[in-house]
Chains A and B, each alone.
Chain A
Amino acid sequence: MADNDQIPEALIAALREADKARLLIPPELDAAILERARANIARDRRRITPWLAAAAALMIAAIVMFTPARKAREDVNRDGRVDIRDALALARKIADGKAQGSVWDINHDGRVDQADVVAIAALAVKL
């Protein structure tokens, strides 16, 4: 209100009158503006989409390449697959007293024994 005091009364009145008057925009102009806007958006989209796709592909490739492969605990001999040789390897570890620790507790029963060897063998022959 304090600012209004510094504005000339005539200007305030003129602005109020202008505000009351309806501004008429021809539909042709409206349509032309809309058309241009759409064209701009489409052009931007065409420019950006290939880069976005390339960036996404790079990101996926990087994730696949640099994420360490999860090793199956059953793959005792670490050859990349679970077969009867893993059961043999764990059986030998148990026989040699080298299978302490929960890492070889395949069936999660709290101990490492023949049942863990059988669990690996069962996985190896699973259809």
Chain B
Amino acid sequence: MKRTLCMLLLLAMSLGAQQVHFTAVDIYVESKDAPLAAYQLEFVGHGNQVRIAGIEGGEHDAFKTPPFYDPKAMQQERVILAAFNTAQPTKLPLGRTRVATVHLQYAGPQPPTFSLKLNTAADSEGSAISVQTTFTERGRYE
């Protein structure tokens, strides 16, 4: 009886340690005065069993639809996100804009960390522009 109780206790502890959590990370591109027509960046989640669970588009109409990404990135910790819009410069975002949101799952009590690397960004002419990429974690939930 004692042994069974100990086994159950250990099992419960291990399940608790592996409890799955979810979080969402908003990704922003700051293009200052240049109209943002295209971006490509690499997002990585670091931590215990971090897995990408979903990807959303951004806030501006030009980037509202989810960006391009490799479907293989689902259930992995790394993804390349890219999107473009051929609209007139006046219909493209200026300044800081949320271009995508990445939903992730992770296991255990330790929250994951994230890194972001810009590959390229372009204006409506297709010319490379200098931008800054940032992210903020929206919140964690179970």
Which A residues fall within an 8 A CB radius of B?
Answer: 77, 83-85, 87-89, 91-92, 95, 118, 121-122, 124-127
B98 close to chain A: CB less than 8 A: no
B27 CB to nearest chain A CB (Å): 14
Report whether A124 and B68 are in contact in the complex, using a CB–CB cutoff of 8 Å. yes
- From 67 to 117 in chain B, residues with beta carbon under 8 angstroms from any chain A beta carbon are 67-70, 72-73, 76, 78-84, 86
**Beta-carbon contact of A88 and B80 below 8 Å:** no
Q: Across the two chains, which residue of chain B brings its CB closest to A118?
A: B68
The contact size tier of chain B is: 20 to 34
Question: Does B50 make an interface contact (CB < 8 A)?
Answer: no
Interface residues of B in 105-142 (CB under 8 A from A): 119-120, 122, 126, 128
- Residue B40 at the chain A interface, CB threshold 8 Å: yes
Residue ranges of B at the interface with A (Cβ–Cβ < 8 Å): 37-40, 67-70, 72-73, 76, 78-84, 86, 119-120, 122, 126, 128
- Is the Cβ of A127 less than 8 Å from the Cβ of B78? yes
Which residues of B lie under 8 Å from residue A127 when comparing CB positions?
Answer: 70, 72-73, 76, 78-80
Query: Which applies to chain A's interface (DSSP): helix, strand, loop or mixed?
Result: helix
Q: Given the complex of chains A and B, what is the CA–CA distance between A89 and B86 in angstroms?
A: 9
Check if B68 sits within 8 Å of A122, measured CB to CB: yes
- Identify the closest chain A residue to B39 (Cβ): A84
Give the complex CA separation of A84 and B82 in angstroms: 6
- Decide if A89 touches B68 in the complex (CB within 8 Å): no
Which of A77, A91, A125 lies at the interface centre, i.e. has the most chain B CB atoms within 10 A of its CB? Answer: A125
A88 touches B38 (CB 8 A): yes
B68: which A residues are within 8 A, CB to CB?
A: 84, 87, 118, 121-122, 124-125
Q: How far is the CA of A26 from the CA of B124 in the complex (A)?
A: 92
Kindly list chain A residues whose C-beta atoms are within 8 Å of the C-beta of B37: 88
Chain B residue contacts of A126, Cβ below 8 A = 70, 80
| Residue of B with least CB distance to A79 | B128
Q: Are A125 and B86 touching (Cβ within 8 A)? A: no
A84 CA to B67 CA in the complex, in Å?
Answer: 11
